[in-house]
Structure 1
Amino acid sequence: MSKRQRYAAIVSLVVLLLPLLAGCTPNPQGEPTGVFGKYLVKPISDLLDFFFSVLGNYAWAILVMTLLVRLVVFPLTWKQQKGALALQEIQPQIKKIQDKYKKDQQKLQQEMMKLFQENNYNPMAGCLPLIIQMPILLALYQAIMYNKHIGTHEFLYMKLGAPDPYYILPLLAAITTYFTFVSSMASQPTTQGPNPMKAMIWFMPIMVFVLAFKFPAALSLYWVFGNVISILQQVLIFTPMKNKRMAQRGATR
C-alpha cells in the first residue's frame, strides 16, 4: 500500500469516526458552545426546527438537512472522484518512475512532483475534500444530538430520542454502510495493489451496527439517509463517469 493510499484510508476512517466520537460527548440539555457550536451546530439545529415546521416531522427534516449538506459538499466529492481518475491515467508513468529511481528516493520524489505538475494533478486531491467535509458533517450530527425537540417526537413505530426497539435501523445502517463501500469501490479507478477500502468493507458495517444499537433513532436515521444518498451518487453519477472516462481512453488508443 502506498503512502497516499494509507493517508486516504486513515482520513476516510477519521471522517467516519469523528461523528461517532463526538456524539458521545455533547450534553443534549445544553446549548452548543464555542465557535463551532455557535456558527455551525446551532444554525443547523435551527434549520431542523424550521423544516419540521414545514414538513411536520423531524424524520423528514433530517432527510432534507442531509440532502442539503450533501449538496453543499458535492463539488468537493466531484473533485475527489476526478482526481482519482486523473491518477489512474498517469499510473503507467508513475510505475516507470518508481522502477527507474527506486534506489534514489530524493530523485523519485522530484520526478513524481514534476509528473504531477505536468498533468495538473494534486496528490492531495483525494484527501482534502474529505478533510473539508468533516466540520459540516460533524455539525449536522451534533445538531441532532443537541436539539431538544427531536427526541420528543416519533416516526413510524419509534421515538426519535430513543434507540430503535426492534433494531431495524441499526441493521439498515450497517447494510447501507456496506453497500456504500461496495458502490464507492465500483466507482474508483482500477489500480494494482491492495485497496484500503477492502480492509474496512466489513469492519465499518459491524462497528456502525454496534454503535447504532444504542444511539437515538434520529441519529440512526441520519446515518441511513446519508448512506442511501452516497450510494445513489456513486451508482448514478460517479460509476457512469468512470465508465465513460475508461471508454474514451479505450477509443483513443
Structure 2
Amino acid sequence: MKKRILLFVGLLSLVVLLTGCMEYDQPITEESKGFWNEYIVYPLSMLIVKMAEIAGGSYGLSIILVTILIRLVILPLMIKQTKNSKAMQALQPEMKKLREKYSSKDQKTQQKLQQETMALFQTHGVNPLAGCFPLIVQMPILIGFYHAISRTREIAEHNFLWFDLGDKDPYFILPIVAGITTFIQQKMMMAGMENNPQMAMMLWLMPIMIVVFAFSFPAALSLYWVVGNLFMIIQTYFIKGPDLKQAKAAENAGGAKK
C-alpha cells in the first residue's frame, strides 16, 4: 500500500515537473501560452514584480517576501499532511503486527492483510491517501514559483546583498547554506525515523542534491531555497515540537546506555 502511494505521488510529480521544464529556458511574458504558463508561472512572476515595486525595487527582498507568502498560503496543507503522517506513524506498530501475522506471500493471505490494514485505518479514522492530496496541490505551486524566478527577466538584471540574482553566488555561501538548512529541515521532519535505512539515505541525499544544483543555478534560486528551508524549519518546530523533544530524549537515553 505504502509503495503504491509513493509510486503514485512520484509519477504525478514527475508529470508536473516535466510539464514545467519544457520551456525552462524561455522568459515568461504575457504572451506565453499554455495552461502552465498562463495560470501558474506568469501570475507568480507578476507577483514577484509587483512585490519588488512595493519593496523599493529590490527583487531579492521580493523573492524573500513572496516565498514567505506562498509558504503561508500552503501552510494549512502542510499541517494537514503532517498530522496525517503522525497518525500513520502511530499505527506502525499495529501494521507491523499485521504483516507478521500475514507473512505468507500467497495471494489469499495478502488479500487478508490488505483487508485487515484497511479495517485498521477505518477504526482509527486514518486515510492513507489523505497525505498525498496536500502534496499534489503543493507541487505545482512550488515548481511554478521556481520557474517564475528562473524565467522572469527583471530578476536577472538586479543584485541583492553580495551577489547578482541572475548569476551564481561568487563565494558559494548561499549553496552551502541551502544544503545545511535542507539537512536541518529533513532531520526535523524525520525525527524518530532515523533507523529506517531509506529515510537515513534521504537525509543526506537531498542536501547534497540541493548543493550541487545551487552551485550551477542563479543565486536567486539559492535564495529561494534558503528562505523556504528556514520557513520550513520554523514551521516544523511548532508543528512537531513534542515529537522532536521525544526523539531527542530517546537519542540521549540511547547514548547514556552506551
Category of TM-score, reference length = shorter chain: 0.7 to 0.9
* CA displacement at 1:244 relative to structure 2: 9.1
Amino acid at match of 1:62: I
Query: Are residues 192 and 231 of structure 1, via their aligned partners in 2, closer, same or farther at CA, if it must alter by over 3 Å?
Result: closer
Question: Whole-Å Cα distance in 2 between the matches of residues 185 and 10 of structure 1?
Answer: 21
Amino acid at match of 2:232: S
- Give the paired residue count: 240
1:172 is aligned to 177
2:166 is aligned to 161
Matched ranges for 1:206-245 at <5 A: 206-235=208-237, 237-242=238-243
* CA displacement at 1:9 relative to structure 2: 8.9
The counterpart of 2:188, out of the listed 180, 183, 195, is 183
Unaligned runs of 5+ in 2: 248-258
1:250 is aligned to none
Tell whether the 8 Å contact from 1:12 to 1:130 is kept in structure 2 after alignment.
no
Unaligned runs of 5+ in 1: 247-253
Query: Are residues 19 and 167 of structure 1, via their aligned partners in 2, closer, same or farther at CA, if it must alter by over 3 Å?
Result: farther
Query: Are residues 166 and 109 of structure 1, via their aligned partners in 2, closer, same or farther at CA, if it must alter by over 3 Å?
Result: same
2:98 is aligned to 97
SS of the aligned residue for 1:121 comes to: coil
Question: Whole-Å Cα distance in 2 between the matches of residues 90 and 168 of structure 1?
Answer: 42
1:6-33: CA deviations, max 9, x gaps?
Answer: 85499579969x7699569513435343
Amino acid at match of 1:144: I
1:251 is aligned to none
2:199 is aligned to 197
Residue 29, structure 1, aligned to residue 30, structure 2? no
Query: Are residues 11 and 195 of structure 1, via their aligned partners in 2, closer, same or farther at CA, if it must alter by over 3 Å?
Result: farther
Question: Whole-Å Cα distance in 1 between the matches of residues 210 and 7 of structure 2?
Answer: 17
2:2 is aligned to 4
Query: Are residues 19 and 165 of structure 1, via their aligned partners in 2, closer, same or farther at CA, if it must alter by over 3 Å?
Result: farther
Tell whether the 8 Å contact from 2:166 to 2:218 is kept in structure 1 after alignment.
yes
Tell whether the 8 Å contact from 1:28 to 1:148 is kept in structure 2 after alignment.
no
Tell whether the 8 Å contact from 1:180 to 1:230 is kept in structure 2 after alignment.
yes
Deviates most, 36-45 or 118-127: 118-127
* CA displacement at 1:197 relative to structure 2: 2.5
* CA displacement at 1:196 relative to structure 2: 3.0
Tell whether the 8 Å contact from 2:28 to 2:45 is kept in structure 1 after alignment.
no
SS of the aligned residue for 1:139 comes to: helix
1:188-237: CA deviations, max 9, x gaps?
Answer: xx4696253311222221221111111111111001111111111112x1
The counterpart of 1:128, out of the listed 130, 133, 154, is 133
TM-score by length of 1: 0.83
Amino acid at match of 2:75: F
Amino acid at match of 1:122: N
Question: Whole-Å Cα distance in 2 between the matches of residues 30 and 86 of structure 1?
Answer: 41
* CA displacement at 1:43 relative to structure 2: 0.8
Question: Whole-Å Cα distance in 1 between the matches of residues 193 and 213 of structure 2?
Answer: 33
The counterpart of 1:111, out of the listed 113, 116, 135, is 116
Question: Whole-Å Cα distance in 2 between the matches of residues 195 and 80 of structure 1?
Answer: 22
2:70 is aligned to 69
Tell whether the 8 Å contact from 2:28 to 2:37 is kept in structure 1 after alignment.
no
1:62-119: CA deviations, max 9, x gaps?
Answer: 1111111111211111111111221233333323322222220011101111111121
Query: Are residues 21 and 34 of structure 1, via their aligned partners in 2, closer, same or farther at CA, if it must alter by over 3 Å?
Result: closer
Tell whether the 8 Å contact from 1:9 to 1:196 is kept in structure 2 after alignment.
no
SS of the aligned residue for 2:131 comes to: coil
